[in-house]
Chains A and B, each alone.
Chain A
Amino acid sequence: EPEVTQTPSHQVTQMGQEVILRCVPISNHLYFYWYRQILGQKVEFLVSFYNNEISEKSEIFDDQFSVERPDGSNFTLKIRSTKLEDSAMYFCASSVTPEQYFGPGTRLTVT
């Protein structure tokens, strides 16, 4: 069964550093998403991406965040200058119907 994959599984970075989280969506999916989950809290929408552009973004997704689909398979989330409060689990998801399928997540720890 096809799956969404994400790398790395855990990223530790210092405040102010840039990080890039990588995702490989399911191959025939058209819509791509990033969500985050701070420990103990609910899953929150960050951004959706379709046809090589952002469809919608939340207020969390400020100028420090960007997304890119650099080739036919990868989908990346970049955080330009990380803050302590960016520490969370970041999930990539993809879909072709309303149902979204999630990757295993990248745990980002900002120290």
Chain B
Amino acid sequence: RKEVEQDPGPFNVPEGATVAFNCTYSNSASQSFFWYRQDCRKEPKLLMSVYSSGNEDGRFTAQLNRASQYISLLIRDSKLSDSATYLCVVPRGSGGSNYKLTFGKGTLLTVNP
């Protein structure tokens, strides 16, 4: 299994739709996970952190299944501004709060009017 593997996409959805992205990871010792979004030719921006079974922030919900080593991101009521690449990210600690981030290839989402 690859370190971090995501749905390849792309996803094209209409405004208002609900869309879900999946991600699997190989390191069973991983304790925390992140979703970042990346707009074309821009930097990754932190969207959500997941430390326990899940996290919710407005229209965004992340869920974690440790037994299956699987993380998902659900976006409800999609907006045009949600169009971006969504990156599943698994940190690996090397002491203190010093972490190496391992990125998935990303899933491209386009929300259409």
Contacts and interface: CB of A to CB of B under 8 A. Distances in A.
A76 interface: no
Interface of A: 30-31, 33, 35, 41-45, 48, 50, 55-56, 58, 89, 91, 93, 95-105, 107
Contact of B97 (A56, A93, A96): A96
A111 to B, nearest CB: 19
Nearest to B46: A99
Contacts of B103: 42-44
A97 B42 CA distance: 23
B68 to A, nearest CB: 22
A18 to B, nearest CB: 24
A30 B95 CA distance: 13
Interface residues of B, number: 26
Interface of B: 32, 34, 38, 41-46, 49, 87, 91, 93-106
Contacts of B87: 42-43
A55 B41 CA distance: 28
A31 B32 CA distance: 18
Contact of A55 (B34, B46, B98): B98
Contacts of B91: 98
Nearest to B93: A98
